[in-house]
Structure 1
Amino acid sequence: MKLADTLARLPAEEKERLQSQPLIRDHMLSGHTLDAALSGAEWAARWAEAAKPLDRQLLLRLVRSYAGQPFGEEEAEARLRQAPAWTGAEIRVALARMRRDGVLFAIRKAWGERLLYVPADLVGVWQLVLRPLTAGTPIRKEPDLGEREAQLRLPLSLALLSAWSDIRRKGLPLTAKGAPNKQRLVKLAEAMALKEIELKGFEFFALPDPAVPANVALALDLGLSLGWLIREPQRIVAASSALESWADLPLAAVDAKLLEIVTIRYAGQEATMHWAAIALRAMPPHEWFEADDALRQWGEELVERERLALDRWTGLLVAFGWMERIAGRDQVFLRWLIDPTLPALRSTERAHAGHDGPGDGVLYIQPDLDIIVPPEATYGVYWRLEQIAERTSLDIVSTYRITRSSCIRAGEDGYTLSTLTDWLERVSGAALPDPAAHALEDWFGRIGKLSIVDAKLLRVASKELADRIAGDGPLSDWLLERLNDYIFAVKPEGVRVLARRLSELGYPLAENRDSARPGSSASEADSSANASEAAAEASAVKAASGADLGWIRLKQLLAIYEPDGSIPKREELFPGVESIPSVWLEKPRSYHPSTRREIIERAMAWRTGVRVKRVDGWIEFIPEALVTADGSWKVEGTVRTPHPGGTAKVEWSGDSLGELMIELPDGASELPRTNH
């Protein structure tokens, strides 16, 4: 779940608590909203600078282990307390502190289990803030140690455009079980520049229906999740507002947005792959670099799994037309073809100026109505051309052609000669060539001259009654046309209203046994006409509830659970802490052997450490097991050595323990306490 969705679900009192945190409050005083304050790299860097070392290290490990996926507190404690010898108590208190600070958020399942998560769109920010990756020296000369993996692909923005446009034009029929029509799937897959084989190895593209080609599944998933496509009961169609918010963006900006979505949505399904994806995005655009530059972010912990994740993800980036990859003798070289910088880490907000304004001259229209589309054209220009013209090629420079059939299709979509001509002249920055203008006049001159209208016939027994009906105001809204003195063409959807009004006038309709009951066709027409609107409303409701609208079945969705903004109390993290002698927590003392054992058992239950006096001084000891034999007992555990991160396993008898006390983690005293 992203940060904006998380904050939208929080109760007002929890938002107020977040806004009262000093770092967040300072950002909001400078004019930021809560969303903007928590999503900026500047705030993340300030938090990291002020945070305890444990919190920084723990958050980095959480990002590496889970990315934006949810995790249980006990699961995280068991997984993360091993390597640096953190105690479970230290981890629990640090998690609570990060929830207080707005770094971690929580949801609670119906049966009470609490899950924590890092907002999906901030995972990459935290990764690069906590472990900055400085790119190696760029390779100024193109590597010549190997061959490119394949010729350059179309960017994903154009590959998706062709699929979405075909669905807008023809729809995608669904069976009664919701499966797409197989023949249409084959045609969609074959028409896409991105081929199914290029997505091999990403199993989630086969969910929920392996019969759907992976490239089509990708187009459906992104289109549905963005709201550009809508799933109706019997088909998938394009939304009337599809691509509106991206219409003024050039292709490079659209692909940058898609990269962000793809990173979160697909790489985020596997924490290792997400880590690799973010490491790559720290690399500079348009310059060759060695793959090892990205691998360095794993440090000494790099294993084969990470190398495989990086290789799989770069393969996907190449297929999406965003990266080049060359395999040399001993090294792999990579080059971004788009700017991969995370939005929160851009030095300045890049304003992607559109080219769809009057007189921009972005299109070149030939006399034969061939249209040349240069790379700087906006996504909205491409989307409009897909509607009014025939696509002849998609490439760095694309071409379209306006034909008689495309004009007929444009006319069906509401274009007139005037509106089409105005748009073409506006985006080309010049008047249409005379041959082109004459061709459009000829083709549009034939459009709309004939039409077939669904109608019901109202037969009237006398001309006088027909005249009265024609003059009745409430009835006129439902009459299409008076065909002669005795017959009217009636709108099908108005049959019920018309019958009711005629009955009010004292002229009930005679029963017609040879036709369907009045209004049946109207109901069908209403149902068909309103299907898209109803589906759009249903999609909006699902989106507002946090439900995922995409085609692919992703891992568990956090939005179906209730947000939990409460901060754990000290009693929750350390059960019974309010009922033990306070001196056990305040200062080391000598105790009776039975009390020493009770203190050790309590520390083990809380998975925290004790401070114990030995002959060689004070020791930080983490008890892990008690062993009883022959009437005596001993304790096994870990001693923290003076070296950073250093530990040693020890076993001591209960009698050898001197003065001791339970050590709760730093910050435990700041946790809210249970009211008695």
Structure 2
Amino acid sequence: MLKRWLQLPETRMTDILYGIVIHRFGSIGPADQHFRYLISSTACVPEKWTALPELLDWMADMNLTGTKARNELEQSSLNWLCCLTGFGWCELGSTPEGIPCFRWTAAKPKLISGIELLSDSMAENSNVQFIVQPDFEVLIPPEVPYIVRWILGKCSELLQTDTMWSFRLTREKLEHASERGMPPEEVIAWIKDHALGGLPSVVELSLEQWGKSIGRTSLSEVILLTCQTEEDGLAIAAHPRLQDSLKRIGPLHFLVSPESVEQMRKELFLAGLAPSRMMGGREEEVNADWTSFHQQAETEQDVYSLPVLNAELRLLHSGNPFLNLPVISPEQEEDILLGGENVPQIWSKEWRHYHSSTAEKVMEQGLKWGIKVRFSLKDQMLDFIPSRIKGNPWKVAGHLLYNDGETVEEIELTPEDWKEMKLVIPKRRRNSSSAEPSDYGMIEKSTDFGRTLT
């Protein structure tokens, strides 16, 4: 999806964004909708001032304002124009007498209706190239698609983003690209393919020289896990599911490979020994993969398009078409929850007795998901909210909910303390507090402007 979006010309990007804005953020009142679509027409040309009262007078003469009061319509129209001004598509002003005026900028978007094929406009940009200068600066003409700028941003330094974008090729950015899966030889080949007039020899030789010194050595990073007490160290060392993730180097210290950190966190959390998110005095960083498109072939099918909407969701629709999203049933929601981690569905479907090792896993899953576990205890069927799990020997601490609805007991249990059990998947869904707006009563009427509603 991101690749297809970046392949679009900038004007088409603007058109799509405008279509989203006009449907998602505009008022659903008929008069307001008429105003938005009227100023979007070709009658309002860019860089030509229009007096707002005159336009609203014309709408009133054409019976396009309905029952909405004039002052309310003028205020809502000004609010919409302020929104367009914020996007850089419109300018607001006033006459010496204080009459509000507006005009579209040269970047006025086109209102697209329906699904339009974009392959022709994409083909126009497929051969657009940039300019590499002997001083290592890369000049980007306005027509260069953003997918090319995206890849350049991976292997060169961005200097400016005015009408003419510019980058600079540096050794540091060449190393940066190599660390993110784009070796120097691929960078050089890609730039040569997209450089208008070729790559200057002095630049090519420098890039090749820089590339020879990149990737000849490497460093491996390990993480040190430290315990507060030797008792905790012994408990972690004896944990059956951490044997392949940790290497003990002392009574209180373990080496952890970076790829095992998340699994280690889950297991230590269930054991009541969860480590802090701080590493070495700083917040643990989450690795964000850089998406690269330099090796992906462009195909005619890779065309960006918005989700297909119901054909009836047009100008006169009384709601927001982008809010008409399907709602999954509670059963489907449960299937998604259970299927996300390959958890046996029998744990929530059937009331049964499990072996102690399986009972421990069921209880650990309840703690991980933050849901209740129902089991048979003290000759009663009770709900239990697990809050902490301890190891050696295995115990679970939490709150026991009695059937009277009032009594809550903080308790610590072992798998031998209960019999049958099951996970309790919440069934009650949250109801929306929003109400569907009432439909407008309107009479269809023909005018010279077209079909209108009053």
Q: TM-score range by the shorter chain?
A: 0.3 to 0.5
Q: Give the number of the structure whose residues are more often helix, by fraction.
A: 1
Q: Give the number of the structure whose residues are more often strand, by fraction.
A: 2
Larger Rg: 1
Q: What is the TM-score normalised by the length of structure 1?
A: 0.32
Q: What is the TM-score normalised by the length of structure 2?
A: 0.46
